[in-house]
Amino acid sequence: QQQVKQSPQSLIVQKGGISIINCAYENTAFDYFPWYQQFPGKGPALLIAIRPDVSEKKEGRFTISFNKSAKQFSLHIMDSQPGDSATYFCAASRANDMRFGAGTRLTVKP
Amino acid sequence: NAGVTQTPKFQVLKTGQSMTLQCAQDMNHEYMSWYRQDPGMGLRLIHYSVGAGITDQGEVPNGYNVSRSTTEDFPLRLLSAAPSQTSVYFCASSLAGGRKAFFGQGTRLTVV
């Protein structure tokens, strides 16, 4: 059973639009929630991360919103660009264990 | 900056063969881990190590073996390859646990 559920599986957004990817987790012991970006043929790369004592974190065009009571967190990509087209993975971590969502393939159309 | 280096990039094995996937990092990270990536499954943790001489199992350890003799290297051994082990394998390293992990470029393994 997947401990981190991610949606949608795929997302198509127009250039300049907002991309939103959602994740939900089961285990309340998780204490670190990163998002990774992966381009074809490459390894995942850390994009942004948040801890559960913060409700929002913003880095440039990327924002994580975190709802501890609902056990949900989401990634918002503002002003989406074609170069943002990639697969995005959310994850939840506790100590030495990190669980990933199934991934969202984002396509930003010019 | 090499970061995390994995070799080989591609490999085809026959069922029952054994092989070792190599992983090396030059960031002096104590924590290293192996994941497999399958379509629709995300990445799943196979084994991890918190330092030289210390390894532990992750979510999907069966059929895989690891050892950590140095801080830099963390090889993954497939003892008797099975078609179910066809996957893309990623090695990662970080200063601590799952925090700020750096991933290698991956090894695409096909078992026929």
Q: Which of A37, A57, A96 is the best substitution to test chain B (most B C-beta atoms within 10 A)?
A: A96
Percent of chain B with pLDDT over 90: 89
What is the predicted pLDDT for the residue at B99?
84
List phi, psi (to 5°) of B2: -75, -40
Q: Which of B81, B50, B76, B53 is nearest to B65 (CA)?
A: B76
Q: Which of B23, B43, B68 is the best substitution to test chain A (most A C-beta atoms within 10 A)?
A: B43
What is the predicted pLDDT for the residue at A1?
63
Q: Look at residue B2 and tell me whether its pLDDT is greater than 80.
A: no
- Out of B42, B101, B105, the one facing A42 most closely (by C-beta) is B105
Contact B16, B23 (CB under 8 A): no
What is the predicted pLDDT for the residue at B83?
97
The DSSP result for A36-71, as a single string, is EEE-TTS--EEEEEE-TT-SEEEETTEEEEEETTTT
- Out of B31, B48, B90, the one facing A43 most closely (by C-beta) is B90
Residue of B nearest to A47 (CA): B100
The upper half-sphere exposure of residue B72, i.e. CA atoms within 13 Å in the direction of its Cβ, equals 5
Positions of chain A with pLDDT under 50: none
Token duo for residue A24: 């939900």
Distance CA A43, CA A52 (A): 26
Q: How confident is the model at residue B1 (pLDDT cuts 50, 70, 90)?
A: low
